[in-house]
Amino acid sequence: MPFITDPTASPLPILPLWINGAPHPLTAHTLFPVTSSISNTPLHSAVSATPSSATLACDAAATAFSSWRNTTPTHRRTLLLKAADRIAARADDIAESQMAETSCPSPFAQFNVKQGEAGVREIAAATSELRGSVPQQATRGDGSGEDVGGLTVVIREPVGVVLVIPPWNGAVILPLRAMSMALAAGCTLVVKASELCPRTHSLLLECFEEAGFPKGVINMIQARREDAAPVVEAIISHKAVRKVDFIGSAAVGSKVGQVCAKYLKPILMELGGKGPAVVLEDAHLEKAAFFCAMGAVLDHGQVCFSTERIIVHKAVYDKFVEFLVGAMKKIPNAGDAVTRQSATHAYDVLKDAEDKGAKFLLGGPEYITETSLKPTLVTNVSREARIWDEETFGPSASVYVAENDEDAIAKANDSAYGLSAAVHSTSWEHAYNVAKRLEYGQVQINNMTPSDCPSVPIRGVKGSGWGQSNSIWGIHEFSVEKAVYFHASGGSNIFLDH
């Protein structure tokens, strides 16, 4: 959606609400600034939605659904591939917007665009996997128990209007994945863009509309944080909205999930993590140290898949720590936090750990700038410390000693979260035997915890979410199976016969 200008409302360019293929009028809406954390200056203004404007977005999506649901998977695949082409063509603009709004480094922004495009292409390809089935019908369905034939077909239909709530981290990969899965299934969308990067999310919408998606199929709004709760409830309560896809923190996910429960609406959630990396005694220590360090500091640690805990077999602990400290020292600056408040949170978690007896192998609660913390390795962590099982969302990791494999597995599973883990070993059999006992949706062998593939299902377990994303698994989340019975015309019916 293009910026609009209204000098009487704001000296900055204004990002509107986008409803039914057009900007929604500014009248009676509140503007809020979108600010760079690094410069601490506004980049542009955005319109904050109200429950009434959110309802209009739902109405538009509902109207569009009546025709979009009848499009063929082949047609939807063609448009998704065209959208991927537009994303590739506008990659620089999208990356620059993500860097400006979220303060992420250029390589991370470029990676987001490239992987986001790849995800759209994989989902487009998977539309061909949308299939029904013809189960054998053993007996009549009228209670007679007679085997008189008939036919039953099970078909897949789109669930309806979907609310997508993407986050600011992974600001390209994650909204593209969520939007594409629902669109591929034949659903229409109301997207609540992140208030921290609404322009980045709007650029993705532009790519879909440039590809030929009809007006009303994708509607996008954003809201100030203080306006968000009533806006989200207005959408979830709308009779046409049939499912929610939320990606974000466990705290917010719990609140959104409670609203969904209130209105009996299903929700797909990918929430936070406290990702463990388990370093076994037969690991390649130098390589493992590199992956653990990178997994901890990627985008200032603001990734749900981040390596937050490193659990090391006691036989190799001392040697591994040498490599780990050396690897972290090669990363003197991990980038910047999305907001100054986010940097403060990461600092406060480290300070709390220090106050409760933690020691630092490297770094500590120390700022480089107001938005950047020193890469940090923590040890001697108390169970009473916040860092024990709270996401830091900063460039740090806690290091623990494991007595043996059993102890390492127990320590890795000792978390409310279950998103992504890693196991390091030179023996794939050894790594697998440990990996299969870890309570995580993804386990990386000899790699960073923040890693996934667009053609493989991704999910959280325990407190890290419900449901699956990526490829056909994600498309199935937004379709429902319907059984259609064709009963044989002959034969008796026990209800009529009596």
pLDDT of residue 124: 98
- Asked whether the beta carbons of 191 and 220 are under 8 A apart, the reply is yes
How does residue 145 score in pLDDT terms, banded at 50, 70 and 90? low
For residue 286, count CB atoms less than 10 angstroms from its CB and return exposed for 0-12, middle for 13-18, buried for 19 or more.
Answer: middle
Considering only CA atoms, give the Rg of the chain: 25
Q: Which among 348, 360, 362, 278 has a CA at the least distance from the CA of 313?
A: 278
Residue 147 confidence (pLDDT) above 80: no
What is residue 465's three-state secondary structure? strand
- The alpha helices in 392-491, defined as continuous H runs, are 405-413, 428-435, 471-477
How does residue 138 score in pLDDT terms, banded at 50, 70 and 90? low
Stretch 20-46: mean pLDDT: 89
How does residue 140 score in pLDDT terms, banded at 50, 70 and 90? low
- Asked whether the beta carbons of 113 and 91 are under 8 A apart, the reply is yes
For 310-352, write each residue's pLDDT tens digit.
999 999 999 999 999 999 999 999 999 999 999 999 999 999 9
Q: Which of 6-15, 178-187, 390-399, 485-494 has the lowest mean pLDDT?
A: 485-494
Stretch 480-489: mean pLDDT: 88
Q: Which among 331, 326, 363, 361 has a CA at the least distance from the CA of 347?
A: 363
- Asked whether the beta carbons of 299 and 108 are under 8 A apart, the reply is yes
Residue 142 confidence (pLDDT) above 60: no
pLDDT of residue 490: 60
- Asked whether the beta carbons of 472 and 454 are under 8 A apart, the reply is no
Stretch 199-225: mean pLDDT: 98
More confident position, 497 or 286: 286
| Helices 173-185, 106-126: crossing angle, 10 deg rounding | 10
pLDDT of residue 149: 66
pLDDT of residue 303: 95
As a whole-number percent, the residues of the chain with pLDDT over 90 amount to 89
As a whole-number percent, the residues of the chain with pLDDT over 70 amount to 95
Residue 28 confidence (pLDDT) above 70: no
Residue 153 confidence (pLDDT) above 60: yes
Residue 220 confidence (pLDDT) above 70: yes
pLDDT of residue 206: 98
For 258-277, write each residue's pLDDT tens digit.
999 999 999 999 999 999 99
Tell me which residues are annotated as active site: 270, 304
What is residue 111's three-state secondary structure? helix
Stretch 415-433: mean pLDDT: 98
How does residue 150 score in pLDDT terms, banded at 50, 70 and 90? confident
For 425-457, write each residue's pLDDT tens digit.
999 999 999 999 999 999 999 999 999 899 999
What is residue 187's three-state secondary structure? coil
How does residue 55 score in pLDDT terms, banded at 50, 70 and 90? very high
Average pLDDT over the chain, rounded to an integer: 94
Q: Identify the architecture of domain 275-457 in CATH.
A: 3-Layer(aba) Sandwich (3.40)
Q: What is the CATH number of domain 4-271+465-481?
A: 3.40.605.10
pLDDT of residue 9: 79
Residue 498 confidence (pLDDT) above 80: no
Strand order of the sheet with strand 22-23?
22-23, 18-19, 218-222, 188-193, 161-165, 241-247, 267-270, 465-466
Domain definitions of the chain by residue range: 4-271+465-481, 275-457
pTM for the whole thing?
Answer: 0.94
For 384-404, write each residue's pLDDT tens digit.
999 999 999 999 999 999 999
